[in-house]
């Protein structure tokens, strides 16, 4: 499998064990999924498409990606730019974020259409998120959506996590309209019900699956925290029960790691319901540690 994630990787300040202290890492929704996938499927070619600056922290981020086994061929360098930064705050396991991303080079990841097409060429599975779309200018967003539509038309699989973040959008209408455009270009959609209920008014996860299926998605997997995962595949709707956890320390990257297991299982013989159950187990490991990228046991969840 040749996998390409498109999006923004940022410098992460996550709470350390010492109260009031933070540790520096690198993370971002689509990148997190690539990082976990590289561990689950060492036989896969995993690449990341974005942009970074030409400063030392951009170089450090690029080296971190390469050391993680992620190809950085399509990580463009943009002069006079740097990487975004976010800080995680925790309250009983639930996280909130403070962002500094005004000078982020990733905001221009789709400014070069030829470079974008070169990145997409040859990938079997291409993954983007609502955050990927949100950080772009309107023309660049259109460039990316058109490129994804062409790739899907050529037989490449497009996966999309809506990852609704209202603060990144001008208004709710722009967000919901663009999210549905992203879904319309995708084969697989991986929404989170809590966000979908708030911003789209979905009454239940089945309504979420129906809306994204109507947009053109073939497979819709609705994450729902500790509640059942509802999925639609090949016209069939079913659920997978999530095992309860004794404790939750940090929910950062729970959905990103979940998505990685789903992608790891594509094309194999494992039934989708079993792959979803394994995805829940990996997410359960991730939320019991601090930060987005944590050591996990792939043996428990690799299809």
| Catalytic residue set | 256
What total number of domains does the chain contain? Answer: 1
CATH number (domain holding residue 139) = 3.40.1190.20
pTM of the model: 0.94
For residue 302, name the pLDDT band (cuts at 50, 70, 90): low
Tell me how far apart the alpha carbons of residues 71 and 74 are, in angstroms, rounded to a whole number. Answer: 8
pLDDT for res 300: 65
Please give the residue range of the domain that contains residue 215: 2-300
For residue 144, name the pLDDT band (cuts at 50, 70, 90): very high
Rounded to whole angstroms, what are the CA distances from 300 to 93, 262, 279? 23, 14, 10
pLDDT tens column, 57-105: 999 999 999 999 999 999 999 999 999 998 888 777 567 788 899 899 9
Q: Is a pLDDT exceeding 90 seen at residue 125? A: yes
Tell me how far apart the alpha carbons of residues 187 and 119 are, in angstroms, rounded to a whole number. Answer: 19
pLDDT for res 301: 62
């Amino acid at each position: 499998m040749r996998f390409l994630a498109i999006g923004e990787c940022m410098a992460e300040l996550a709470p350390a064990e010492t109260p009031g202290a933070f540790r520096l890492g690198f993370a971002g929704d689509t990148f997190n999924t690539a990082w976990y996938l590289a561990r689950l499927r060492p036989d896969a070619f995993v690449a990341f498409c974005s942009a970074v600056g030409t400063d030392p922290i951009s170089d450090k981020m690029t080296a971190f990606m390469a050391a993680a086994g992620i190809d950085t061929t399509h990580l463009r360098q943009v002069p006079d730019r740097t990487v975004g930064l976010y800080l995680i705050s925790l309250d009983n396991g639930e996280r909130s974020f403070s962002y500094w991303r005004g000078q982020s080079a990733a905001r221009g990841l789709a400014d070069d259409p030829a470079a974008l097409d070169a990145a997409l060429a040859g990938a079997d599975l291409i993954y983007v998120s609502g955050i990927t779309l949100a950080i772009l200018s309107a023309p660049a967003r259109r460039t990316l959506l058109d490129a994804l539509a062409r790739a899907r038309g050529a037989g490449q699989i497009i996966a999309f996590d809506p990852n609704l973040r209202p603060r990144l959008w001008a208004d709710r209408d722009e967000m919901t309209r663009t999210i549905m455009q992203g879904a319309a270009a995708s084969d697989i959609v991986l929404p989170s019900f809590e966000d979908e209920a708030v911003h789209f008014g979905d009454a239940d996860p089945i309504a979420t699956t129906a809306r994204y299926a109507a947009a053109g998605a073939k497979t819709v997997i609705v994450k729902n925290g500790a509640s059942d995962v509802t999925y639609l595949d090949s016209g069939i709707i079913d659920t997978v029960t999530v095992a309860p956890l004794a404790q939750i320390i940090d929910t950062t990257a729970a959905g990103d790691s979940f998505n990685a297991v789903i992608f790891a299982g594509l094309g194999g013989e494992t039934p989708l319901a079993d792959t979803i159950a394994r995805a829940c187990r990996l997410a359960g490991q991730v939320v019991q540690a601090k930060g987005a990228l944590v050591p996990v046991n792939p043996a428990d969840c690799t299809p």
